Amino acid sequence: MSIDFDTGRAPVHVLRDISLTVPAGEIVGIVGESGSGKSTLALAIMRLLSGNARVTAGRIIFDDKDILKLTEDAMREIRGRRIAMVFQDPMTSLNPVRSIGRQMLDIQRHGADGNTASKRSKAAAVLKRVGIPDADQQLDNYAFQFSGGMRQRIAIAMGMIEKPEILIADEVTTALDVTLEAQILHLLRELRDEIGCAILFISHNLGAVAELCDRVLVLYAGEVVEQGPITDIFYRPQHPYSRALIACDPARISEVTRDLPVIAGEVPNLAAIPRGCIFSPRCTLASDLCHREAPAMFEVGNGHFARCHFAEAVAPR
């Protein structure tokens, strides 16, 4: 799938030739710098892209149907019920002028026999499941009355209340401290095991991805540069960008220092994609070939692929 943003001047090529599969019962991570296209990919799956976004190629297949071709009414039947999304900031994604209970009842457009009492009971049960104390009473409260960690739990509860087949979690641990982050990761894993849903976990936190995910895609400037099983990506990364990201993880710093590792250079202008490998202007291994010719996606292991001329390739894809 490829997506452009119309700006009134040159189109910005935000995503290019993205291909991924999220099987039932599996947690797939997406990592990359800010601006790499992670959230755009999630919004495209939900069909919540802004008005100036345009899908220029590709399909999004769910239940043997192309989501991009569905009517808005048909998409509403899927969105929230069969494919749900938890956003990065629950303070902005939760409605500030409607109680938590009212919002959770609204989500249950179907089911619970259409009975308000049944829907309220179901909402309280889900809140209790994600660790909200006194759930029956909390339903009457508003978002501002909860802490950040509790708001995130409520957002996850709202995403899971209809037991979706796919849950998209977009930077859900970003604003949390390490204790709450660990609790949220544990909760997501338990919910996956409990209802068997697939989870697309978007994060810049490599530690969270390594702990939670089964597979991971590395996005750079709108392209998948590497993808594979979590152990392969973290212990045998084949793309220089993947190695650089891992090297910049603060958790790897063992000594006190004022200088944090960074990736030299800047993300390229997506309105004018450079020739050759997209990462070559910042890559310490780049050769004339890299600046001249875009690499193919090479298979470098069982289910492990890297888009690099210097990958330990067995076959191009």
Task: Reduce the DSSP state of residue 157 to 3 states and report it.
Answer: helix
Are 224 and 19 a contacting pair, CB within 8 Å? Answer: yes
Q: How many CB atoms lie within 10 A of CB 203?
A: 24
Residue 39 has pLDDT above 80, yes or no: yes
The predicted pLDDT at position 111 comes to: 54
> Residue range 156-180: average pLDDT?
86
> For 69-128, what is each residue's pLDDT tens digit?
999 999 988 988 899 999 887 778 899 999 999 999 988 876 556 688 889 999 999 999
- With a cut of 70, say whether residue 317 has pLDDT above it: no
The values of phi and psi at residue 258, to 5°, are -90, -15
Share of the chain above pLDDT 70, in %: 97
Q: What whole-number distance in Å separates Cα of residue 146 and Cα of residue 68? A: 36
pLDDT of residue 314: 45
pLDDT over 90, % of the chain = 59
Q: Where are the alpha helices (DSSP H) in 167-205?
A: 178-195
What pLDDT was estimated at residue 280?
94
Give mean pLDDT, residues 246-255: 80
Of 172, 169, 126, the residue nearest 149 (C-alpha)? 172
Q: Which CATH superfamily is domain 2-82+162-253+262-316 in?
A: P-loop containing nucleotide triphosphate hydrolases (3.40.50.300)
CA atoms within 13 A on the CB side of 129: 20
What residue spans define the domains of the chain? 2-82+162-253+262-316, 94-161
Is the pLDDT at 163 greater than 90? The verdict is: no
